[in-house]
Amino acid sequence: MRRLLDRLYLTAGAAAGLCLVLMALLILAQIVGRWFGVVIPSTEDFSGFLLAAASFLALAYTLRSGGHIRVNLLISHLHDGPRRLIEGAVLLLGLLLVGYAAWSALLLVIESYQFNELSQGYIPVPLWIPQTPMAAGLLILEIALLDEWVLLLRGDEPHYMRHDEISVIGRGE
């Protein structure tokens, strides 16, 4: 199971990176195209879709690698027991909030599909297509938060904490 979850997070992170590369190539093509009088329609729309996809797909990978900004001022001075309790409460709150956001995003995708909503750009795109990576990224983040919470409950140090400068959970301090 561990290997499957790690691959899921890595795949989502790689997909986010691919979205950024595609966005850069699209913008570069637009710039070069202007030199030769060629207009690429809806470049801004597609770039925005790719940026949103990259942002949401990278969330779980960034959490696991400790890349999210955390304010440790209070908990860095606590010992194992109280810090574990606060970390668990924060992870549980994150699970609830991200779960709600993922559920709402999934409903948005379903609604956009059912009503056949289209983007407003020069090239009409069914909105469920660019909304799907957002819902997927939130769902994968929910799985990653649950994974971290289970690690904490088992007595292990969550992966995101392994990158902190000051970490006392699981080190016996």
What confidence tens digit (pLDDT) does each residue in 91-110 have?
999 999 999 999 999 999 99
What confidence tens digit (pLDDT) does each residue in 141-151 have?
999 999 999 99
* Those residues with Cβ within 8 angstroms of residue 109's Cβ, 6 or more apart along the chain or in another chain: 128, 131, 132, 134, 135
In a domain, 168, yes or no: no
**149: helix, strand or coil:** helix
In a domain, 173, yes or no: no
Task: Note down the domain range covering 39.
Answer: 2-163
In a domain, 66, yes or no: yes
In a domain, 37, yes or no: yes
Size (the chain), residues? 173
What confidence tens digit (pLDDT) does each residue in 27-51 have?
999 999 999 999 999 999 999 999 9
Give the containing element (helix H, strand E) for 74: none
In a domain, 156, yes or no: yes
In a domain, 19, yes or no: yes
> How many domains is the chain partitioned into structurally?
1
